[in-house]
Amino acid sequence: MKIDIPKISPELSAKNFHDIFFEENPILEMCVISDSDFTNEAVDRVRLYNAVIKNCKFTNTDFSNIDITDVRFENCDLSNVNMRKSSIHRVEFFNSKLVGCEFPESYIGNVRFENSIINLATFGNSKLEKVIFKDVSLQNADFYDCKLKKVEFDLCDLNEANFEQTSLKGIDFSTSDFDSLMVSIDDLKGCKVSTFQAIKFASLLGLIIKD
């Protein structure tokens, strides 16, 4: 699946994430931010545009209502970050940690998560459109009552992820792995799975398979 990649300028100025406190509005744009420690902070309605963010720590920070457009995160720790009611568009997360990250009631479009750990993250009541999860761990992640459109799970660990009340029509789980998954039976129609996964789903539904 082809998605729009971040439109990032080749010429970016170096900044520290704490520079956001010195802006009239909480905006950082046209910049590269490296090795910033922005943990346990709280800034409402942050806007990040046209930026590369590398080797930064944001654990336990409240970024409610954040707007992120044309940004690439590399080797960042966003564990337990609150991004509730956010807008995330043309964004990439590479080699990053997003354990327990909160995305409820958000719009996430043209976003790639790759080689990252996203266990226990919550996406409830969000819309995900043109999103790629590639080689990521999503154990116990919560996609309750989400709208998924052109969402790809490639080589992911989905064990004990929750997709209840979320239509899985057109979603392909066949290259990903799980022992158990929380799904609504009515929402499984049109979901693509491997033969082995079909047997797992059958057992989850209480069917007894005999050769």
17 SS3 class? helix
Instruction: Let me know if residue 161 belongs to a domain.
Output: yes
pTM for the full predicted model: 0.95
Q: What is the pLDDT of residues 98-127, one digit of tens each?
A: 999 999 999 999 999 999 999 999 999 999
Instruction: Let me know if residue 30 belongs to a domain.
Output: no
Domains: count for the chain: 1
Place of tokens 């958000």: 106
Q: What is the pLDDT of residues 25-80, one digit of tens each?
A: 999 999 999 999 999 999 999 999 999 999 999 999 999 999 999 999 999 999 99
What CATH number is associated with residue 171?
2.160.20.80
Please give the residue range of the domain that contains residue 135.
Answer: 46-204
Q: Got the DSSP string for 86-134?
A: -EEEEEEEES-B-TT-B-TT-EEEEEEEES-B-TT-B-TT-EEEEEEEE
Tell me if 179 sits within 8 A of 157, measured CB to CB: no
